[in-house]
């Protein structure tokens, strides 16, 4: 089965890759213009095209208040293809990103000091891209971690490989946390130096994005710990079975001891609760007759209840019968109203939804039984007017008995 699964995976990758490369080629002019401008003009795309480009991980929105932009990896790909040395990233680690941010801030301030506002605007645009690239780098790494959790663990062949994949993911998580620790907001506040644009970009937005990344990494770490505990438990069980099988291969004549007949049972096998023997008085033992008589005398005496007025008792029973008949008639009336509602609306109506909407106090099981009974009691020509759909589900994973969860009644097409 392994070659077949590999072929299917390759086929899926081929189709997805070909589709996304076709998207790049189809919208090449608009994407290249977005690369030059630093943002994407959404009016140049249809709504469906934007959804496809975002789903294909070509475009993204760094912040709710920011326009759409190219993904960092797509920008790096274009920069490498066109040999744009000003934007091509050689080293993508966090320290290098921070150094680039510091340089861009200094270049932005120098341009402002010289009064060259066009250059200052260009430097601010490049600085914005560097900040978003830094956040996007962490987002891409976190997505990679989730992909490893959802795919890599399912494709490895043994528990040892799964544990090794878990350890690799833990190391990658540790590297991401170390990278987040490199971000010193005290330094970023000093770099802003009262500039509103820099403070919003380097402090407010970046802090909000990194808080979101911290939360995502915490969820990934919880999932990794849960998986590792599960893998360790499975490994211990499989190791016990493997060692027992190896022992039986080495000792083919081994016979387990008769532990129930031993006075001292090993702790491993002594897991059952102790049996409490039932005590009873031996009636054939004359020495215990006195004890039995005392126990019988100590029993509470039963006082029979006698009705003084038989007519009153009969009247009470009659009232009880009338109450039951009234409830049955009320149930029948509510079911008839349910069928009338189906006729009025003309569409499919759920029995339990109607019960909840009308705030009826009937038990759901009794309500469903009464609807089925009324349907079965209809004449043949009237029964043909309605269509009954039962929503059934098995009682459990190991019991194939189908239980009716709900019933929907609708009018048959004429």
Instruction: Record the tokens describing residue 131, joined without a space.
Output: 């900040």
The reply to whether 183 and 216 lie within a common domain is yes
Q: Look at residue 311 and tell me whether its pLDDT is greater than 60.
A: no
The H-or-E segment that residue 406 falls in is strand 399-411
Asked, for residue 166, whether it belongs to a domain, the answer is yes
For residue 126, pLDDT beyond 60 = yes
Residue-level pLDDT at 359: 85
Cβ burial of 202 (10 Å; 0-12, 13-18, 19+) is buried
Instruction: Please indicate, yes or no, if residue 309 is contained in any of the structural domains.
Output: no
Q: Tell me, yes or no, whether 135 and 250 share the same domain.
A: yes
DSSP 8-state symbol, 61: -
Least-confidence region, from 85-94, 102-111, 308-317: 85-94
Same domain, 41 and 106: no
pLDDT attached to residue 293? 81
Q: Is residue 277 domain-resident?
A: no
pLDDT over threshold 70, residue 394: yes
Structure confidence by residue, pLDDT tens digits, 10-28: 677 788 888 888 888 888 8
Do 156 and 168 share a domain, yes or no? yes
Domain-terminating residue out of 254, 288, 312:
254
Q: Is 188 in the same domain as 200? A: yes
Do 142 and 158 belong to one domain? yes
In this structure, the answer to whether residues 151 and 209 fall within a common structural domain is yes
**Residues in Cβ contact with 27 at an 8 Å cutoff, skipping those fewer than 6 apart:** 45, 49, 53
Show which of 234, 254, 274 is a domain's final residue.
254
* pLDDT reading at 228 higher than 50: yes
In a domain, 374, yes or no: yes
- This prediction has a pTM of 0.41
Mean pLDDT, rounded, for 261-290: 72
- Inside any domain, residue 332: yes
The range of the structural domain enclosing residue 27 comes to 18-86
Percent of the chain with pLDDT over 90: 0
Domain annotation covers residue 6: no
What pLDDT, on the 0 to 100 scale, is given for residue 88? 47
Residues 344 and 234 placed together within one structural domain of the fold: no
Residue 387 inside a domain? The answer is yes
State which of 86, 105, 125 marks the end of a domain.
Answer: 86
Cα dihedral 21/23/25/26 (nearest 10): 160
| The pLDDT of residue 58 | 87
Per-residue model confidence as pLDDT tens digits over 207-226: 888 888 888 888 888 887 88
Please state, in angstroms and rounded to a whole number, the distance separating the CA atoms of residues 18 and 121: 38
Tally the domains of the chain.
3
Mean pLDDT of the 214-242 span: 82
Judge if 31 and 143 occupy the same domain.
no
Position 168 confidence tier, pLDDT thresholds 50, 70, 90: confident
Verify that 56 and 197 share a domain, yes or no.
no
Angle (CA) 122-94-54 rounded to 5° is: 65
Task: Pick the range with the lowest mean pLDDT from 71-80, 235-244, 291-300, 327-336.
Answer: 71-80
Co-location of 136 and 249 in the same domain:
yes
What is the per-residue pLDDT for 378? 82
Same domain, 102 and 74: no
Q: What was the pLDDT predicted at 149?
A: 74
pLDDT score recorded for residue 315 = 56
**CA max distance for the chain:** 120
**What is the band of 91 on the pLDDT scale with cuts at 50, 70, 90?**
very low
- Residue 36 domain flag: yes
């Amino acid at each position: 089965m392994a070659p077949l699964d590999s072929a299917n995976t390759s086929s899926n990758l081929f189709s997805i890759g070909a589709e996304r490369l076709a998207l790049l080629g189809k919208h090449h002019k608009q994407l290249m213009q977005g690369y030059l401008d630093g943002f994407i003009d959404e009016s140049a795309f249809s709504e469906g095209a934007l959804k496809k480009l975002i789903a294909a991980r070509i475009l993204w929105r760094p912040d709710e208040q920011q326009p759409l932009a190219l993904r960092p990896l797509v920008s790096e790909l274009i920069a490498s293809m066109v040999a744009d040395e000003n934007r091509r990233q050689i080293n993508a680690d966090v320290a290098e990103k921070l150094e680039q941010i510091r340089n861009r801030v200094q270049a932005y301030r120098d341009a402002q000091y010289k009064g060259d506002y066009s250059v200052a605007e260009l430097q601010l645009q490049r600085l914005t891209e560097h900040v978003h690239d830094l956040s996007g780098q962490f987002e891409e790494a976190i997505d990679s971690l989730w992909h490893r959790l959802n795919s890599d663990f399912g494709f490895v062949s043994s528990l040892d490989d799964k544990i090794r994949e878990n350890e690799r993911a833990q190391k990658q998580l540790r590297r991401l946390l170390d990278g987040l620790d490199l971000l010193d907001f005290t330094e970023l506040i000093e770099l802003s130096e009262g500039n509103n644009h820099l403070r919003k970009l380097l402090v407010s937005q970046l802090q909000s994005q990194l808080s979101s990344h911290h939360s995502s990494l915490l969820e990934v770490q919880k999932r990794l710990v849960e998986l590792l505990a599960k893998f360790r438990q499975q490994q211990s069980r499989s190791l016990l079975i493997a060692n027992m099988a190896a022992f039986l291969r080495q000792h083919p004549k081994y016979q387990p001891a008769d532990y129930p007949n031993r006075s001292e049972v090993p702790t491993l096998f002594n897991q059952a609760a102790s049996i409490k023997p039932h005590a009873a008085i031996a009636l054939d033992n004359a020495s215990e007759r006195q004890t039995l008589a005392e126990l019988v005398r100590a029993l509470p005496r039963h006082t029979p209840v006698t009705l003084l007025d038989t007519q009153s008792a009969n009247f009470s029973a009659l009232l009880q019968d009338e109450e039951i008949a009234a409830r049955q008639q009320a149930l029948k009336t509510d079911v008839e109203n349910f069928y009338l509602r189906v006729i009025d609306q003309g569409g499919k109506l759920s029995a339990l939804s109607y019960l909840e909407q009308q705030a009826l106090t009937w038990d759901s099981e009794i309500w469903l039984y009464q609807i089925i009974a009324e349907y079965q009691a209809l004449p043949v020509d009237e029964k043909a007017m309605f269509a009954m759909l039962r929503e059934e589900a098995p009682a459990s994973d190991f019991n194939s008995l189908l239980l009716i969860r709900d019933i929907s009644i609708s009018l048959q097409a004429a």
